Structure 1
Amino acid sequence: MTGAGEEWIGDGLQDIEGMDAVLWTPGVDYIAGWRGARESADRLNRALLGVGFELSAVRAVGSTDERGRGVVRLAGRPDTVDRLAALLESAA
């Protein structure tokens, strides 16, 4: 059973989850950074869905860096990312 936002597991993009795996530093609040990044990633994912993209092809993922700062990464299949880039270019 998967929770909300976990339906992408097994779609070929799962390697992004551990991109910057590092040892945790004691005293760093990774949870707060991750929480903010997750909220931003969820907002971007809702926007992507709203314009017709599927999260199995492109999605934002919330994470943290080694200092506990929130980071949002966009991961996707090249053809879908090209479509997203064209959409952004036309809006610019």
Structure 2
Amino acid sequence: MEGEGLYDGLDAVEMDVGLWSPGVDYLAGWREARVAADRLNRALLAAGFELSELRASATTTGDGRGVVRLAGWPGVVDRLARCLERAADDDGDAAP
């Protein structure tokens, strides 16, 4: 097998976060998700949240679509839920 690449002949490569397939543009999806996650993190900071307790992060799905995941301590997530509920009540409806 000398001279062959580590992944030559494989249809997909298993990585830490799942399965990656050749030819899928994961980077484009991740970049889109990163922009959205950064925007959400700035909004969380502006609302008084600490990113060490509640943070949005970018990732992708198996087909390359971007995904933003929000993770935080349960009490902090509960505080965020209360803020969103109040904002929805103030507006009459939650904004899309």
> Does the TM-score normalized on the shorter chain lie above 0.5?
yes
Displacement of 1:86 in angstroms is: 0.2
2:48 equivalent in structure 1: 52
1:33 aligns with 2:29: yes
Q: Structure 1: how far apart are the matches of 2:59 and 2:19?
A: 14
Q: Share of identical aligned residues, percent?
A: 67
Q: Which runs of 4+ in 1 moved over 6 A?
A: none
Could you tell me which runs of 5 or more consecutive residues in structure 1 were left unpaired when the two chains were aligned: 1-17
1:91 equivalent in structure 2: 87
Structure holding more strand per residue: 2
Q: Structure 1: how far apart are the matches of 2:19 and 2:66?
A: 16
Normalised TM-score (structure 1): 0.77
Instruction: Indicate the SS of the match to 1:88.
Output: helix
Q: Structure 1: how far apart are the matches of 2:50 and 2:18?
A: 30
The structure number with the bigger radius of gyration is 2
* Per-residue deviation, residues 33-83 of structure 1 (Å, max 9, x unmatched): 000000000000000000100000001001100000000000000000000
Normalised TM-score (structure 2): 0.74
**Over aligned residues, Cα RMSD in angstroms?**
0.8
Displacement of 1:22 in angstroms is: 1.2
Give the letter aligned to residue 50 of structure 2.
Answer: E
Q: Structure 2: how far apart are the matches of 1:22 and 1:77?
A: 24
Displacement of 1:23 in angstroms is: 1.9
Greater relative contact order structure (CA < 8 Å, 6+ sep)? 1
Matched pairs, number: 73
Could you tell me which runs of 5 or more consecutive residues in structure 2 were left unpaired when the two chains were aligned: 1-15, 89-96
